[in-house]
C-alpha cells in the first residue's frame, strides 16, 4: 500500500514521502490516485482546506481499504474549512475508505455545509465499507446559533434510489 505524507508546517513542498512530505493537502489534486492508498497528515498540524474530490481520492474499488489518518507524535491534526461555504471533504463517490485520527473544526464564522459530504457507492455486494473513527467534529457558537449555523457534520446522500449502499458504514 502506497503511503502519502503531508506536513502543513513544512516550508517547502516535497514529494509526499516521510522524509520529504507534501506541505499541503491540496497536493492530492496533482496525483493519480491508485488505491489502496494511505494518506497521513502530521499530528499537531492545524490547517485550512476544503477538499473537493474530483480525482477519486475517496473512491476505492479495490478489495483493500484506503486510509486517511495521522502520523507522528502529539495531538490529532486540526482541519478547518477555508470558509463557511465549504465542506472539509466533498466527494461524489466514497467507497472502501477509512478516515481516522483527524479533528474537523468549523470555520470561525460558522458553517453552512456538512463537514463531510459524500455519495456512498457499493462494491458487488452492495457494501460501501466506509469507516469514520476517532475523529472529533467541533463547531463554534456560530455553527449552531446563527444564519450560517449547521448541525449536520456528516451527510451521506444516496444518489441511486435502486440500491442501498449505506450498508457497512461505521461512525
22 belongs to a structural domain = no
| pTM of the full structure | 0.85
Place of cell 434510489: 161
120 belongs to a structural domain = yes
Which residue segment(s) compose the domain that 104 sits in?
43-170
Are 132 and 101 contacting, i.e. CB atoms less than 8 angstroms apart? no
Q: What is d(CA 171, CA 159) in angstroms, rounded to the nearest whole number? A: 20
Name the average pLDDT for the chain.
83
The one-character DSSP state at 170 is E
pLDDT in tens, 65-87: 999 999 999 999 999 888 777 78
28 belongs to a structural domain = no
9 belongs to a structural domain = no
51 conformational bin, left if phi > 0, alpha if psi -120 to 50, beta if neither = beta
92 belongs to a structural domain = yes
Domains in the chain: how many in total?
1
Least confident of 26-35, 76-85, 162-171: 162-171
Mean pLDDT value across residues 100-107: 89
Q: What is d(CA 130, CA 94) in angstroms, rounded to the nearest whole number? A: 7
114 belongs to a structural domain = yes
pLDDT in the model for residue 46: 94
159 belongs to a structural domain = yes
Which of residues 7 and 91 earns the better pLDDT score?
A: 7
Mean pLDDT value across residues 6-15: 95
Amino acid at each position: 500500500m502506497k503511503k502519502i505524507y503531508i506536513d502543513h508546517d513544512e516550508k517547502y513542498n516535497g514529494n509526499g514521502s516521510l522524509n520529504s512530505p507534501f506541505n499541503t493537502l491540496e497536493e492530492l489534486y496533482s496525483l493519480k490516485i491508485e488505491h489502496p492508498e494511505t494518506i497521513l497528515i502530521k499530528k499537531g498540524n492545524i490547517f485550512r482546506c476544503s477538499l473537493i474530490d474530483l480525482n477519486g481520492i475517496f473512491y476505492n474499488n479495490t478489495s483493500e481499504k484506503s486510509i486517511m489518518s495521522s502520523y507522528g507524535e502529539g495531538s490529532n491534526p486540526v482541519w478547518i474549512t477555508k470558509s463557511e461555504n465549504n465542506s472539509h471533504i466533498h466527494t461524489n463517490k466514497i467507497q472502501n475508505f477509512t478516515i481516522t485520527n483527524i479533528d474537523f473544526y468549523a470555520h470561525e464564522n460558522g458553517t453552512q455545509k456538512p463537514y463531510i459530504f459524500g455519495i456512498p457507492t457499493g462494491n458487488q455486494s452492495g457494501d460501501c465499507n466506509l469507516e469514520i473513527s476517532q475523529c472529533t467534529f467541533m463547531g463554534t457558537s456560530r455553527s449552531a446559533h446563527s444564519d450560517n449555523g449547521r448541525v449536520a457534520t456528516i451527510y451521506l446522500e444516496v444518489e441511486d434510489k435502486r440500491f442501498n449502499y449505506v450498508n457497512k458504514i461505521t461512525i
